[in-house]
Structure 1
């Protein structure tokens, strides 16, 4: 069985898709006004804002209030039959981004038995970032008794030959269009098409071949093929996994192989699509002795022929060559050094997306900035397979408003 499968997908039959679809709950965490606008915009209409708990509301009085209402609202929506079920189906998506490019994706479900979020996992589906266990319980409180799930998880495949999703894109005019609208709050345009029957079967066949061959390009790196990487929403997928493991522990000896909780709905995307851009996240260290830090880095983590990384101290700048033997990625070498150095020395680290902002911050007293290269797409799978997990803040996949919006659902009870 493939690790990614067609699902019985729930799709809302509502008057306003714009009010229905809201952005991933882990966005705009420091901007509660964003979520207040979303609630006001969707007031009185069926909306996924009533089915999720924004992280901006964690630890506030709204958390308990909204958590209590979520599952009741899900049950109410099911009772009112606002969903139509598309059995054994996938949904092909085209999402327009801020720069006008179009990012394709495919909604289906993943097998949680093929996913392990622990560091050093050798499962077919792996996390790209370290999972913060403390972030899982609040999500479990929502999912544990929820009758349906709505995904904001973005799963990545290493489909260099573009054999998985692209054939569906070429035939989209023959597919049934499910939706075509503008997402709220500047999310831009989205179109979705139903993929079922022969098209879904053909995709499954292509996926089987991809899964069998994807590991060949990484032979010698732990020796265990990695089929998919979690791009966004790892903590949501980890929550689904934790709830499934909890269910198994509560029903020892029972066959749960066909239980809906074994699976989780996700959107699959290819790292090799032209619209998929990996942007580097730079490092600035403040309140430190910048020259001492640089000297220690050159002594402990550099080697001839290493990764080329620019540094900035005030008006000075230069280049270090980070030892490739220490990690598959430049950011891995640098972050490993900084983690150890800052345990023993003064300094505070911050993560900066913009090149000019990094250079500007490095001009302040007692600061040093490192301008990291963008991670090549081919390095994502290689880095996770070889190092077990990527360093935190390795790369960014697009801007906040380009994250997945909640649209499709699936019964998990």
Structure 2
């Protein structure tokens, strides 16, 4: 790889003595249907300095006073800098360890990434890519918050596929040699997080070299069974993709007014992220099943066989439990009040089963306006509701961690709601900030 995607940022933190349990607030795109969560957060924070004052919970995006809220956010950012609530660290990374109730902590590395190496459009060949489809309609309201802001706060998780654990994990063997930057409980069932500061120098240079090694072309081709025709994918956006897309849209606006020299190091060009190894034991990747409403089961199943035949595959319907998946065969168990069984597809159009199924469902729904779909995490819900008259459920297979990157490499950006990664309370809390203006 002849280009370095990462940068060593100047991270901004609240001054010593700040109550970090009130400062740190969960990502703004969580609990969007639960205003009571955010009301309780308001109560907990009170008048204390908090990232709640620097972000806009998306539960309020449709409120009449959203413009006033955004203006207040921008003013508070400036106030926190001016009155010393915030201070800027020397250049460096932050090593993080988050306990959120599971058997294993989540371990990550906070650094900056170059938005010139990110693209979310279909067919993107960029080094940083989303794992799932970006809904462009979600960008403008977020862009309204970023315009006029002097700071950004990250809840973006960037995944690396590092099965040998060469980048992040070895740093914990020497964490005691790093300064503890924060060590705090997180409000509202968020668990506990610790961060260690790694100043710019030999250590950060070594980290970046290890990241670049993940893109060795020969090793990449061998890992995924691909050729030089496939674009390298060292970094996949696992969470917060619409935040990255918004940062990209903002940078595309800002850079129009800059010279080439000014573009090279402008702070808006780089976005603050947490890099996490997809093989981290804390990351549980679960499939999201499909629950269908207002469908004629026989018609839909017949349409599925016809669809896959039209696209160069062979598909058949078989008794439940008889389908056996392998590298050439994808199996989709289904359930309804009329019949249950397996939809078996051979030589499917996509390497990830969910992408194959969703491609068919998108095609079917385009000509069946009354049909509806919901995305369900648990099999018990599919079993309970999929057997109700007019309903139907498809069970999706587990997703191997290696297959997530492989799916993006071979199939492109995955369909929305392909997988889930952690419960709402496990999502990233805002702690660090970075300037996005000179």
Provide the TM-score with structure 2 as the length reference.
0.90
Q: Judge conservation of contact 2:74–2:149 (CA < 8 Å) in 1.
A: yes
Tell whether 2:108 aligns with 1:101. Answer: no
TM-fit CA distance, 1:84: 3.0
1:232 maps to 239
- Whether the aligned pair in 2 keeps the contact of 1:226 and 1:385 (CA below 8 Å) is yes
1:52 maps to which of 52, 55, 74: 55
Say whether the 8 Å CA contact 1:324–1:330 is kept in structure 2. no
CA offset digits 1:153-208 (Å, max 9, x no partner): 00011112110101112211221111112100101111111112332222122122
Q: Which residue of 1 aligns with 2:435?
A: 411
- 1:212 maps to which of 187, 209, 216: 216
TM-score, normalised via structure 1 length: 0.96
| Larger displacement relative to structure 2 (392-401 or 86-95) | 86-95
Distance 1:332 1:322 in 2: 12
2:258 and 2:6 map into 1 onto residues whose CA distance is 25
Q: Which residue number in structure 2 is paired with residue 336 of structure 1? A: 359
Q: Which residue number corresponds to residue 8 of structure 1? A: 10
2:266 is aligned with 1:263: no
Partner Cα separation in structure 2 for residue 53 and residue 381 of structure 1: 31
**Are 1:125 and 2:128 matched, yes or no?**
yes
Cα gap change, 1:248 to 1:116, in 2 (>3 Å): same
Whether contact under 8 Å (2:102, 2:282) holds in the other structure is no
Counterparts of 1:221 and 1:400, CA distance in 2: 38
Between the aligned partners of 2:345 and 2:6, the Cα distance in structure 1 is 37
Matched pairs, number = 413
Equivalent of residue 161 in structure 2, options 134, 158, 161: 158
Alpha-carbon offset, residue 299 of structure 1? 3.6
Cα-to-partner distance string for 1:93-130 (whole Å, 9 max, x where unaligned)? 11113323211010000001111111110000001122
Question: Could you tell me which residue of structure 1 aligns to residue 345 of structure 2?
Answer: 322
Unpaired runs of 5+ residues, structure 2, are 309-313, 317-327
User: Equivalent of 2:393, from 369, 373, 383?
Assistant: 369
Contact 1:106 1:267 in 2 (8 A): yes
Inter-CA distance 294–282: structure 2 relative to 1 (3 Å threshold):
same
Alignment correspondent of 2:141: 138
Structure 1 unaligned blocks of 5 or more: none
Q: Which structure 2 residues correspond to residues 1-400 of structure 1 after superposition, within 5 A?
A: 1-13=3-15, 14-196=17-199, 197-213=201-217, 215-216=220-221, 217-218=223-224, 219-220=226-227, 222-251=229-258, 255-301=262-308, 302-303=314-315, 305-314=328-337, 316-345=339-368, 346-400=370-424
Partners in 2 of 1:41 and 1:401 — Cα distance?
A: 16
Please give the root-mean-square deviation of Cα atoms over the aligned residues, in Å: 1.7
SS at match of 1:171: helix
State the 4+ residue runs in structure 1 displaced beyond 6 angstroms.
Answer: none
Please tell me whether the aligned partners of residues 329 and 379 of structure 1 are also in contact (alpha carbons under 8 angstroms): yes
Rounded Cα–Cα distance in structure 1 between residues aligned with 2:352 and 2:215: 25
Give the CA deviation at 1:253. 5.5
CA contact (8 A) 2:214 2:220 kept: no
Residues of 1 paired with 2:381 and 2:266: CA distance?
A: 50
Q: Quote the Cα distance in structure 2 between the aligned partners of 1:28 and 1:221.
A: 42
SS for the counterpart of 2:32 is coil
Query: Cα offset for 1:41?
Result: 1.2
